[in-house]
Amino acid sequence: MKVNLLGIKIDAINMEETVNQIASYIRTGRPHRVTTINPEFLYRAQFNTELRELANRADLVTPDGVGVVWACRLAGNPVPERVTGIDLMLALVERAASEGWRVFLLGAAPGVASEAATRLSLQYPGLQIAGTHHGFFSNDEEAEVSRLVRESRPDLLFVALGAPKQELWIDRSIAQTGAAVAVGVGGSFDVVAGRAQRAPGWVCRLQLEWLYRLLKEPARWRRQLVLPLFAWQVVREYKIKKFPPET
């Protein structure tokens, strides 16, 4: 089931159901797009019709983080749990190792995707890595990158170019890559390759992951400004407009 948040349809399913849904996409062999949507994307999409349409064209849209789960609850359209890019990627890789799906990692700085692939192969024996490629290629090189991916015959393609670049790339290129499923996973390769750290479990439980990231990567403060703006958008749309002041 899809629920509406600020005009974007989000799938109200948990992690296990998401992985099962993606498995069914892979069985069809036809191209499917998966977006893990975060508050920053949702906020920007309010002012950008193209982004909104892009998200609504995806086959599956998952709530990437507690902020989106909170917003859906406030909107009266709850989703069962957060399904973040990194968690989804790890759950899919585990399933890929047992199902024999071929996996391609596209994105991040040179060397990061291959390092992530090496670590994943060690952690999930039997995992078939179809190939890897960094994410700093020009528009002119796009066709060549799609060709490389296609020749490696992947079932599942993880794209880590950051949002919304990865969603735009997936939208225009998935058909050329031959992959049955492409998932946008943001900075996940950096985490898997050990170049960036995830917040510890207790920080996540206290819902303070945003503060942890801000302290670790202070340069992100500008991007983090979007979080209170997003919260205000949600409150205004679902609490204030719902009960307009009497005239």
Where on the chain is the footprint of ligand UDP (CB under 6 A)? 107-109, 135-136, 160-163, 165, 186-187, 189-190
SS3 call for 121: helix
CB of 31 to ligand UDP, least distance (A): 21
CB of 87 to ligand UDP, least distance (A): 13
Comparing every residue's Cβ against ligand UDP, the nearest one is 135
Rounded Cα gap, residues 56 and 58, in angstroms: 5
Closer of 130 and 185 to ligand UDP (Cβ): 185
Closer of 32 and 213 to ligand UDP (Cβ): 213
Beginning with the edge strand found earlier in the chain, give each strand of the sheet holding 102-107 in spatial order: 60-63, 32-37, 181-184, 156-160, 102-107, 128-133
SS3 call for 162: coil
CB of 62 to ligand UDP, least distance (A): 13
DSSP category for residue 102: E
CB of 163 to ligand UDP, least distance (A): 4
SS3 call for 157: strand
CB of 98 to ligand UDP, least distance (A): 27
Closer of 40 and 97 to ligand UDP (Cβ): 40
| Buried-state track 202-234, b at ≥16 Cβ within 10 A, e below 16 | eebeeeebbebbbeeeeeeeeebebbeebbebb
Closer of 97 and 161 to ligand UDP (Cβ): 161
Closer of 10 and 97 to ligand UDP (Cβ): 10
